[in-house]
Amino acid sequence: MSKKSKVCIIVVIFILFIILLPSSGFATNNDSRKTLVLLGNENLAPIVYKDNGIAKGVAVDIVKAMEDRIGYEVEVVPVNWEQAQKMMLNGDADGLLHINQSPERDELFDFSRPLLKSDFSMFVQNDSTSLRSIDDLRGKIVGVEAGGYPNLLLQGYEAIDIEIIVDWETSFKALSTGNLDAIIVDRWIGEYELANSRITGIKIVEPPIETRYSRIAVRKGDVETLNLINSGLKEITDDETIDKIMEQWQGKRVIYVTEDYFQTFYLRSASLFLFLVALVAIYFARKYQKLSKTLEISVKERTEELHHANEMLKAANLKLERISMTDGLTSTKNRRAFDITYNKTWKMCLRERMPLALIMIDIDNFKLFNDTYGHLTGDQTLIRIGEVIKGVIKRPGDLAARYGGEEFVVMLMNTTAEGATVVAEEIRTRTKELEIENGSINDVITVSLGVASVIPDKEMAPKELIDAADRALYKAKESGRNKVIVWKHQEE
């Protein structure tokens, strides 16, 4: 290499050094702490996303707040979500940020304490009045994210035309123009996209279709990392740091993007320059260096490891198709599990001419209870009542499920109205015996129950039995609560 060439190289390196100086502070880090690497979904704004290579989002701020508590630097790397799971299985990271727990994933990972609440909601056009629940989506085109929870949620429903969302803004525009009938996504993510893109004519259907709680996943058996993360989450929960972060993010919409405009322009320009410098470095590296035999062997080993990880991920994805049918709070079956099991049981009872009974259950004055004691106490009450119901329903073929909010449903196969009434009375009595004080009404927590039973025939629709039990429940609430009312056909 000539002397002139050497001088040119030194000048280029010096210029690069000067450019990086303001932002990197000589690229030194006086913090000798270890680093905890967490992978997140790069397209999940405002929870986790990548903005010009920088990790941002409410979940990112939460885990960064743990650094001083746990003595580790927390690095969040937003990547493609499917690739993140492969990297995790391959041992390239310490954890997965903002992931929902399921029995299938329990075989691969251990999970931290709850991180964020996700209300999976339906977005429709403003003038839509017929789309209120998943049952109303039959024959409709519904947009969901590939591999996301709503996509798995809809797999058990027939006649729903699922369209995979690649870009949120494009999909919401398609919804506003009528090319999509609905989009199902975490409410916060949908609202954030609508605010940023300024798309109008879209509303959110209340209540949410389902509520889940995300967590941080670590490799199976990595107790040390799990305990470290849990201790950090507990500390920032106890000192209300999480509450402050949530308050900061609740209002961030379009203004946040506008404030970052100039910083984004600067970062893009710097990134382009660094890219050109990298190309020059690659040119010289390829010209004057040769890969050693050791590197070739290492690459081969890594390729084999990736192949093994891919095979494991394929097997895991096959199991993930059978998504959890358990309610995350009460451990009873969830609404999706009830819908699928009920439709199958209806067909069997229709074929075998067997009676089928339903008990609709609603907790009395629960809103007042929540307002008085708070949602955490309300959640504990839901758990205890769910345990009561599960303790009564023991026969194979019967089902107890959380129907939504403070409402439960019990399905009893080959059971008449009389038999179902006995079961309902036992649930009512056991609930009252819990003696959970409801100071808002100077009484204890009770439940109202509506009972209905039919022998299905070809002239009846499965929804008719649900409606009948629901009307009986309404009469029980109307007639004073803490009662069991049985629907009778002549009341129609």
pLDDT on residue 5: 65
**Who's near 457: CB < 8 A, 6+ residues apart?**
350
CA dist list (Å): 68 to 47, 73, 246, 363: 22, 8, 19, 43
- Residue 464 among the catalytic residues: no
CA 304 to chain centre: 32
Q: Which tens digit of pLDDT belongs to each residue from 322-344?
A: 577 999 999 999 999 999 999 99
The residue to which tokens 């040390």 are assigned = 224
The pLDDT value given to residue 36: 94
For residue 405, give the DSSP letter.
T
Q: Is the pLDDT of residue 87 over 80?
A: yes
Catalytic residue among 42, 145, 210, 406: 406
> Is residue 73 exposed (0-12), middle (13-18) or buried (19+ Cβ within 10 Å)?
middle
Residue 317 predicted with pLDDT over 60: no
Which of 268-277, 310-319, 373-382 has the largest mean confidence?
Answer: 373-382
Mean pLDDT score, 214-234: 93
User: Residue type for 413, please?
Assistant: M
The letter for the amino acid at 309 is A
Residue 270 clears pLDDT 60, i.e. is over it: yes
% of the chain with per-residue pLDDT over 70? 87
What is the Cα–Cα distance from 431 to 389, expressed in whole angstroms? 9
Q: What pLDDT shows up at residue 256? A: 35
**Exposed e or buried b for every residue in 104-140, given b needs 16+ CB within 10 A?**
bbeebbbbbeebbebbbbbbbbeebeebeebebbeeb
Encoded tokens for 176: 């506003």
Q: What is the pLDDT of residues 358-367, one digit of tens each?
A: 999 999 999 9
pLDDT at 318: 56
Residue 52: what pLDDT? 85
Instruction: Give mean pLDDT, residues 7-22.
Output: 59
Averaged pLDDT for residues 215-228: 93
Is 49 within 8 Å of 192 (Cβ atoms)? no
Residue 241 has pLDDT above 60, yes or no: yes
Predicted confidence (pLDDT) at residue 235 exceeds the cutoff of 70:
yes
Q: Is 201 helix (H, G, I), strand (E, B) or coil?
A: coil
Task: Determine the Cα–Cα distance for residues 364 and 381; give it in Å rounded to an integer.
Answer: 12
Q: Are 51 and 57 in contact (CB under 8 A)?
A: no
Eight-state DSSP code of residue 136: G
User: Which amino acid is located at 301 in the chain?
Assistant: E
